[in-house]
């Protein structure tokens, strides 16, 4: 198998796995765990797109935020950010950092707040900054 074909197969498998997990996750009224959907927008470049997130608890205070972003209505990019989550009035506040690689802009820092129905986060890197605005899916995700 050619390297380009192998890369395409690996990327498609990762997308399929994310989509399956996101659609089968259930939201909790007492946690930020589960599926989220919304948009991202860069304040630096004005690029924007759709955004899905699946929040998975790792430890008592750390969640893995699995993001899947759409860029230019065509390209998809998936990555994971560990977020330190603390209770906050009527919800939670969080922050975290992830290195997305040189081609994606390097290291990004995230911070925001969430309630059981809304998730807002800013992001910053040396070359970009912007905002994620997410809500629980309109149609409840399927349960396993």
pTM above 0.95, yes or no: no
Q: What is the pLDDT of residue 140?
A: 52
Q: Is 141 a member of any domain?
A: no
- Look at residue 115 and tell me if it is in a domain: yes
Instruction: Give domain status of residue 85, yes or no.
Output: yes
The pLDDT value given to residue 133: 98
Range of the domain at 128: 3-135
Sorting pLDDT into bands at 50, 70 and 90, what band is 8?
very low
Name the band, by pLDDT with cuts 50, 70 and 90, for residue 139.
low
Number of domains, the chain = 1
Which tens digits make up the pLDDT trace of 75-99?
A: 898 999 999 999 998 899 999 999 9
In a domain, 45, yes or no: yes
pLDDT score, position 29: 78
Phi, psi of 18 (to 5 degrees): -60, -50
Q: Is residue 116 a contact partner of residue 91, using CB atoms and an 8 Å limit?
A: yes
Whole-angstrom distance, CA of residue 113 vs CA of residue 122: 9
In a domain, 140, yes or no: no
Backbone angles phi, psi at 133, to 5 degrees: -130, 115
Q: What is the CATH number of the domain that holds 107?
A: 2.40.128.120
More confident residue, 122 or 73: 122
pLDDT digits (tens, 9 = 90+) for 14-56: 456 888 888 888 887 788 999 999 999 999 999 999 999 999 9
State how far the Cα of 132 lies from the Cα of 115, in Å rounded to an integer. 14
């Amino acid at each position: 198998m050619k390297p380009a074909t192998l890369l395409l197969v690996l990327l498609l498998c990762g997308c399929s796995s994310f989509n399956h997990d996101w659609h089968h996750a259930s939201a909790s009224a007492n946690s930020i765990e589960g599926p989220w959907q919304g948009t991202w927008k860069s304040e630096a470049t004005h690029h924007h797109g759709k955004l899905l997130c699946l929040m998975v608890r790792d430890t008592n205070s750390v969640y893995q935020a699995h993001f899947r972003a759409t860029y230019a209505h065509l390209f998809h990019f998936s990555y994971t950010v560990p977020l330190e989550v603390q209770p906050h009035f009527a919800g939670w506040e969080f922050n975290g950092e992830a290195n997305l690689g040189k081609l994606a802009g390097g290291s990004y820092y995230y911070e925001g707040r969430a309630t059981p129905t809304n998730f807002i986060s800013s992001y910053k890197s040396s070359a970009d900054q912007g905002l994620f605005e997410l809500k629980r899916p309109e149609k409840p995700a399927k349960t396993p």
